[in-house]
């Protein structure tokens, strides 16, 4: 099973930059996208299907905001839209698909960049989401959680940890939540196989030279429940793919 997570920062903008042509290269069996930033009528489903993928979307009610999608050439047994938390579901943040005994969760975590009220909500969301995962795992033991977490977990995951120690996305409380998440029986699949520094998935959109200089953050993840640890075979980040200020993150599992 080949999985990609990719914050496209607007699916319409990404399509204009060649996203569909990239899909046609068969980059993965399942492509999970975040920040769709569209309503249903804005999405070119025909183009996505022409690339060989069945599209499933959970979109924000607010126009041009948030939203997640799962594009799959494998047919899921079950798809669930949202996770029962009113504000999160209003913003279109969580989409679930089951493939046999594996449950895939595609999530777009709140960023906290627009002010203290959103940072406070981010902490609420994180706790609610972990509770949801722990409840889910009582009946679905094999779980993959992919998406834009909007958190750089360790100092190795950010270009300048000292300068950003008080920046949302690298705050001690956010990083402590990530520790707790992994302690709840999850594995950072990328770091399981790749311990090298300077591996980033996002670069500041208002500072274009940061991507050229590779001064970024690793905030996009595909994490798996620990009972899937031995299935992790290949992990990659593709900074050369440039439909967005993020880039695709890849995981290959041997089932």
Q: Tokens 């493939």 label which residue?
A: 99
As a whole number of angstroms, the distance between CA 240 and CA 236 comes to 12
Q: Tokens 């902490």 label which residue?
A: 123
Q: Which two tokens stand for residue 39?
A: 């309503």
- Looking at the DSSP bridge assignments, the partners of residue 140 are none
148 in active site = yes
Between the alpha carbon of residue 46 and those of residues 53, 54, 95, 183, the distances in Å are 10, 10, 21, 42
Q: CA 154, 155, 158, 161: dihedral to nearest 10 degrees?
A: 130
- Looking at the DSSP bridge assignments, the partners of residue 56 are 70
Instruction: Tell me which residue of 248, 237, 79, 58 sits closest to 157, measured CA to CA.
Output: 237
Q: Which two tokens stand for residue 124?
A: 């609420």
Q: Which of 29, 148, 157, 188 is catalytic?
A: 148
> What are the residue numbers of the active site?
148
């Amino acid at each position: 099973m080949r999985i990609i997570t990719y914050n496209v920062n607007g699916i319409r903008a990404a399509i204009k930059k060649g996203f569909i042509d990239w899909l046609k290269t068969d980059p993965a069996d399942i492509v999970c996208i975040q920040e769709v930033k569209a309503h249903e009528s804005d999405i070119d489903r025909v183009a996505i299907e022409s690339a060989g993928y069945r599209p499933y979307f959970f979109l924000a009610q607010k126009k041009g905001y948030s939203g997640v999608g799962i594009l799959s050439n494998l047919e899921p047994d079950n798809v669930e839209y949202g996770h029962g938390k009113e504000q999160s579901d209003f913003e279109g943040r969580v989409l679930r698909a089951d493939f046999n005994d594996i449950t895939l969760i595609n999530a777009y975590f709140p960023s906290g960049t627009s002010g203290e009220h959103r940072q406070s909500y981010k902490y609420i969301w994180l706790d609610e989401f972990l509770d949801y995962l722990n409840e889910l795992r009582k009946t679905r033991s094999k779980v993959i959680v992919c998406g834009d977490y909007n958190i750089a977990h360790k100092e190795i995951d950010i270009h300048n940890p000292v300068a950003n120690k008080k920046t949302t996305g690298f705050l001690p409380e956010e990083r402590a939540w990530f520790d707790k998440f992994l302690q709840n029986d999850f594995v950072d699949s990328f770091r399981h196989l790749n311990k090298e520094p300077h591996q980033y998935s996002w670069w500041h959109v208002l500072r274009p030279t940061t991507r050229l200089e590779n001064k970024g953050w690793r905030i996009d993840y595909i994490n798996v429940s620990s009972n899937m640890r031995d299935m992790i075979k290949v992990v990659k980040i593709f900074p050369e793919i440039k439909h967005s200020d993020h880039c695709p993150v890849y995981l290959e599992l041997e089932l």
